[in-house]
Structure 1
Amino acid sequence: METDVTQKLKEVDTSEMTAEETWSVFKIVLTETLGKACSTSTKNTGRGQVKQTAWWNDTVKEAIKEKKELYKAWVKSKLDEDYVKYRLARRNSKRIVRSSKEQSWKECGEIELSRHTPRQTYNSVKAMRIRDKPYSLPTVVKDKDAKPLSEEDSIKNRWQEYFRELFNPSSQGNTQSQFQPRYPEEEPNILRSELQQAMKNSPRNKAAGIDGITTEAILACGETAITWLTTIFQKVWRERKIPEDWQRAVVIQ
């Protein structure tokens, strides 16, 4: 991957580019190379989706299938005897599911929690988690005066207002001295070694942002990525203008 990225970027002249333009070139080349070098996978979200839980085994699957078939037969015939069969199958399926879940949680206690393999531990616990109640967004939030809001548009507007105030604090009443930017010649430039140290300390195994680029992807590009990112940060520092991608984030309420 490093070779492909290096070949595509080595002839690009960034001397006349802004920080936004330089970042765009780097992002496009990196994401295109990632798309070719790495495959992506998706999960089926239709009715045929297999539940990603340890308690969903063949026994549970057959019990649920039998219950559904007897239900359809009763709906079609409307006979009392078919209804009794359906009720018994439903009761039996609940018993089997409950037993399977209990066994799954007993096995969960045998997982070795190790700080060296946090992802494996998380995946093991996640696979055994009971998902009887799916996550749902809050239906009520409070406004600035602590009054409840229940309408969808009002909730969205309140979230926008909250984050606007959070990331754009007012200077009124602030007794601290305000930041006074200096001229570029008075400021030390961002060093390559500083960026290398920052990349070394960056967390791994984290979800990518809007740009789709992770720490691992940058590290996979080696010195080429370090060189380009150093140039980009230096341009940002001189221009005092951050690329649009860096100002956007995905917020899950």
Structure 2
Amino acid sequence: MALVRKTNGEINGLNDCDSDHSVVVATIRLRLQKLKRRVATSKLDLTALKKSDIRNRFKDSVQQLFPDIHEFTEAQESYEKFSEVIRQVTREVIPTVPKIKKQMWMTADILELMDARRLSGHFTDEYRNINRIIRRKCCNAKETFYQKQCQELEELEKVNAQKMHDTVRRITGRRKTTRSGCIQDKDGNIIIDQGGIACRWQEYLNGLFEDGRAERSIVHNKKGNIILREEVVKAINSMAESKATGPDDISIEMIAALEDFGIEYLTFLLNKIYDEGKIPEYLCKSIFIALPKTPGTNKCESHRTISLMSQILISLMS
């Protein structure tokens, strides 16, 4: 392809083009895509609730902001207030998981120096001095780390070839590509933009979970037995910890940390939902995550969907 210049409506440079191709003049307009920076979210250290001081602070703070569990007459209002209080106290009391090193060869000294460099400010003599020290320590730490790994690989090659290959993949960071970044619509057309991908997934999930059964008639004025406190305790004890939370960000560890107050409120809320016959709107929401069955697939049918539900709703169904 030859590039020519167009000046005052005339094309210059044709005589100098050593090509037998026809010259095409085009007006090209480029629009740069605005990249969205991902907001780094800190993960909560829920194991800290097992410490007595943090557990007591969490419980006391919730009870101060939500003293009367019978204040609200409807389950919707009560749940909204309770979830708001839990999120507020969580931000104030529960610590986040400390950031881990991005490279396996990094040492604690390097991470401390990086924190000091960050606090020193840019374009200062202190910043430059710390930066030189960090570069030197990184080179030494990297060389020492890989020498040790090579020795381990030589030993593994003799006794366990599979473990040797697993170690190589772990060190090099080679992983299978799980996402393609695009999706096919029902007609087989490729969708690239994020809004179109979200609409396609909504369409697919609506069809996947569509209930074709006829509507059942609701029987009113048939009140059954109330939900007992013992049943709530059994449901909480049967639920596994360290599970992903739903849209309300309330985990089972937080409910358990409230001890008697949490059990009393959960018993009250579940009975209120049972009496009203209506689940609060926010409890009905779930977060769907699509896990590809085949790496790099762009078909909705080739994904396995999992749903992250509210822990309170799970206790209601237990």
User: TM-score w.r.t. structure 1 length?
Assistant: 0.58
Aligned pair 1:3/2:43, yes or no?
no
Aligned pair 1:37/2:74, yes or no?
no
The secondary structure found in structure 1 opposite 2:289 is coil
C-alpha spacing 1:105/1:199, structure 2 compared with 1 (3 Å): farther
Kindly state the Cα deviation for residue 135 of structure 1 after the two structures are TM-superposed: 5.5
Q: State the alpha-carbon separation in 1 of the partners of residues 69 and 191 from structure 2.
A: 53
The secondary structure found in structure 2 opposite 1:252 is strand
C-alpha spacing 1:132/1:98, structure 2 compared with 1 (3 Å): farther
Identity of counterpart residues, as a percentage?
25
- In the alignment, residue 236 of structure 1 is paired with which amino acid? I
Match of 2:275 among 221, 238, 251: 238
The secondary structure found in structure 1 opposite 2:287 is coil
Unmatched tracts of structure 1, length 5 or more: 44-48, 62-93, 109-124
Instruction: Please give the root-mean-square deviation of Cα atoms over the aligned residues, in Å.
Output: 3.8
The aligned residue for residue 189 of structure 1 is 226
- In the alignment, residue 150 of structure 1 is paired with which amino acid? I
Aligned pair 1:250/2:292, yes or no?
no
Kindly state the Cα deviation for residue 214 of structure 1 after the two structures are TM-superposed: 1.0
The aligned residue for residue 201 of structure 2 is 159
Q: Is the 8 A contact 2:185 2:191 kept in 1?
A: no
Unmatched tracts of structure 2, length 5 or more: 1-57, 111-141, 157-166, 291-318
- In the alignment, residue 17 of structure 1 is paired with which amino acid? T
The secondary structure found in structure 2 opposite 1:251 is strand
Q: State the alpha-carbon separation in 2 of the partners of residues 240 and 103 from structure 1.
A: 66
Per-residue displacement from partner, 1:114-152 (whole Å, max 9, x unpaired)?
xxxxxxxxxxx9xx565345866323434345x253332
> Would you tell me which structure has more helix in proportion to its own residues?
1
Kindly state the Cα deviation for residue 178 of structure 1 after the two structures are TM-superposed: 5.3
- Structure having the higher Rg: 2
C-alpha spacing 1:157/1:217, structure 2 compared with 1 (3 Å): same
Match of 1:207 among 241, 244, 257: 244
Q: State the alpha-carbon separation in 1 of the partners of residues 155 and 80 from structure 2.
A: 49
- In the alignment, residue 162 of structure 1 is paired with which amino acid? Y
C-alpha spacing 1:23/1:143, structure 2 compared with 1 (3 Å): same
Kindly state the Cα deviation for residue 198 of structure 1 after the two structures are TM-superposed: 1.0
The aligned residue for residue 216 of structure 1 is 253
- In the alignment, residue 25 of structure 1 is paired with which amino acid? K
Match of 1:20 among 57, 62, 76: 76
Kindly state the Cα deviation for residue 210 of structure 1 after the two structures are TM-superposed: 2.3
The aligned residue for residue 138 of structure 1 is 180
Q: State the alpha-carbon separation in 1 of the partners of residues 59 and 266 from structure 2.
A: 14
C-alpha spacing 1:150/1:8, structure 2 compared with 1 (3 Å): closer
Kindly state the Cα deviation for residue 234 of structure 1 after the two structures are TM-superposed: 1.7
Per-residue displacement from partner, 1:28-56 (whole Å, max 9, x unpaired)?
2222223332122464xxxxx942x53x2
